[in-house]
Structure 1
């Protein structure tokens, strides 16, 4: 085994795209995105995908390759990403995997865990509860059933919250108990690079990114997607808040402030997830690129 997968992870807005492009250029390889929000082509502003200029600097895969109307989950991504990596490693010694979706990164590097069958009646009951009582009701259920997973999951992601509850209720065991530390064998060496910064810096970068999204037309983009707002892909930070504005439930300024707040909370959960992984080598977001390259080279097979 002499293939090496460089994994670039960290909280949202920290600079993962910029670093991954620099590494792809240095190691003459291509980039596989593991950012599940950036899979969907209709969500061009609110998910902050790489710009055209960034995409031109290095070949990217799994950026806006799906429609919000497609059914696409982490299991599908695991299969697709591994198949793509097989192709990339046929011509290159390196590949870069980049993203802030911890579950999707783990699917590629470690493999997915297997969960028990779900009671259909429980799933239908949860769907009704969500429709009648909203996401906060589900969040409170999860907090009771599985406080460990509650502390790390994106609580605004209805699909993941409901999935954890239905597994917990169907099995009688916390969802997190099915997430194991066992690792599937992969035909490549994994080198994990984490980017971080002081909390105030991370939060400031998030606030600035949201302001840029709004300037680019986030409100108008959400309005164009409004009729599809019940789709799972759109049940995410940045769109949900603007939909509340479009429903005349919130003022626009308040909706934008909620996007910033919920994105900051998401970043905190991202770091909680990643910091459980002792194989990650962390670097400050301003670290000299040469030091990152030296670390990768020293851990290359």
Structure 2
């Protein structure tokens, strides 16, 4: 997945080969920054309002001064797609740090924040969404402010790596047995026709796709219960799935080597996948369901 040529910075659009920051950069030295990953379908942003709002909430939470107003940010993000002539499925990664300054824990004075945003192609994970994925469970050892989309992701990275080493797609995290979320996604359990997920408190990321899941469930008269479930509840789950901007609505059919409800993707997960495609404006010819039928 190569990066498209033009990168948005705090001052201009630059070629990716010309993007340089000093080694004394607070994002590198302290993880002193925030980020967003925004999905693009057929050259158009999906859930752009939710992502921009969350970006600015994160900035406020860590007292980071943004280089653009919200209105300017929308304009710049649109220009980024236009500059790179994006017409396909892709993702935009955006990162803002407190800037470049001599290393000191206290905030530097009169230093501008550093921003960059770039575009990469990103095809949909059709086979995974059709057949489901496997996961492992791991203790949630992250800090308490996971609602901030900060650059401090080492515990997430380690959990994801442990999942990868076991041939799994994700790691389901828990605190003392109470499931919070995954290393890079929100997670949901279906039981008796109800969808359960951890409430949107400070200790989980308030996923943009998560907000749509709640809406989709309401549209379909599916009870959406925002209360934690436990690791041991997974063995009795009717369905299990995760959501994120890059994974969409992803069924989980195996956890810690044990099948979830026979290892089959459930009907509620399928219904929510369909709702997602409709909401994202995905054409029928590009639908995961059409992909499955064609196989």
Higher strand share: 2
Q: TM-score normalized by structure 2?
A: 0.24
| Higher RCO (CA 8 Å, separation ≥ 6 residues) | 1
Higher helix share: 1
Q: TM-score normalized by structure 1?
A: 0.23
